[in-house]
Structure 1
């Protein structure tokens, strides 16, 4: 089964809930949201609709990240990169509360390139995952710039879903659920978000996701033309 959505609401929520199966909430990465807002979204959505939320950037991104400019919180010195600090653990608890209010299934941990493939990163992650609660949420992790060997070790040691782009590589976890993010095209290691997927690209994505599927798959578009491309892909999946 393939569930299709976008990273953020790409159109009015009422319309979005009719057109898509799932959404990856982006606002929770940039800002701390009010509980009543998240509960309202859950109430507005169909019962079988799936929410994923992106963990607050205090868990993942260091204080010099430009993403903090959009935040309603000022970062301390010890935020981000899964460091087992009081600040990071505090922001993780906030993320958990938001996920509960939203009735989310997934929490996405999207790590920046500054979270390098190193023993220091593994050490931080080991301490972080030992210290935090997961409750019943499925944790999906997107690692950028890592080798396949490093990613396989990470998702295996910490029992998380390997988030990948199906046009780039096969997911390396062993679970029943797959989680894909489609950012656009890649040039010299850079993501070019300004991209519209061709029919050939969408067909290749469909074939790969179906071919690799052990159970349920979630495909989230995050490119500049994500609403249109996700709708085209959903029609292709049904056919």
Structure 2
């Protein structure tokens, strides 16, 4: 049975309590604003030995400046640079944003960095080329890269495989209730956004039947390590219930 790491996307409870409840967390603050390596190094020192961190890449790498996610940012580049940020573009600005993200990930001791591209980053030939060039340039042995494509990529799994299949350190991140990884890796990474119409339903509360199904999905994987990261309003409760429902998560 694979090693199972269960946690939440962000800290839904105080950190001390969270550390006692779960074995891993995916940091979200690193997405909205430039990540601070010193702050993250302090967070690493605070956490218990063996606790696992992952984190989202700064949105300057993945999201153009007209994305609504920038409304929550404390720092935003000038409008004159609108065509220089996001979409994994091969620009100086994107790679500088990535270098900051990578430094922060090393300071945190992150096992994996999630790159969630927006639905507007469609499966065009240009975006496919940008994704391949980006991952070719940044693939590292320091941590895994997790790519969560959205939008029409989800209807074109062969396009996702064309990118992910080239890179041994890139993991296809999915919501297991909506799709499966197109390429199997020793590590599987699941982000659970709720069940329902559309790509996300954050107000969804997972049922006992849902959690049993999730345990069956996890148990049937050939991966050595599986992350199950809840990203819904009831994430703390649902993740705790899943740990109780799926004995492997307590190993």
> What is the aligned partner in structure 2 of residue 132 from structure 1?
138
> What is the aligned partner in structure 1 of residue 206 from structure 2?
197
Task: Give the root-mean-square deviation of aligned CA atoms.
Answer: 1.4
Deviates more, 1:166-175 or 1:110-119: 166-175
1:171: how far off? 1.6
Aligned length: 238
Give the alignment of 1:1-239 within 5 angstroms: 1-75=3-77, 76-77=81-82, 78-132=84-138, 134-145=140-151, 146=153, 147-159=156-168, 160-187=170-197, 189-238=198-247
Q: Is the 8 A contact 1:3 1:217 kept in 2?
A: yes
- Find the residue that maps to 1:192 and give its secondary structure: coil
Deviates more, 1:151-160 or 1:199-208: 151-160
- Find the residue that maps to 2:136 and give its secondary structure: helix
Which structure 1 residue ranges, 5 or more long, are not aligned? Answer: none
Q: What is the CA–CA distance in structure 1 between the aligned matches of 2:199 and 2:188, rounded to whole Å?
A: 24
1:169: how far off? 2.2
State TM-score, norm by structure 2. 0.91
Moved over 2 A (4+): 33-36, 129-135
- Find the residue that maps to 1:164 and give its secondary structure: coil
1:61: how far off? 0.1
Q: What is the CA–CA distance in structure 2 between the aligned matches of 1:124 and 1:12, rounded to whole Å?
A: 39
Q: What is the CA–CA distance in structure 2 between the aligned matches of 1:236 and 1:2, rounded to whole Å?
A: 13
Q: What is the CA–CA distance in structure 2 between the aligned matches of 1:95 and 1:157, rounded to whole Å?
A: 22
- Find the residue that maps to 2:165 and give its secondary structure: helix
1:153: how far off? 1.7
1:186-211 deviation digits (Å, cap 9, x = unpaired): 31x34221110000001101101110
Q: Is the 8 A contact 2:132 2:163 kept in 1?
A: no
Q: What is the CA–CA distance in structure 1 between the aligned matches of 2:134 and 2:186, rounded to whole Å?
A: 24
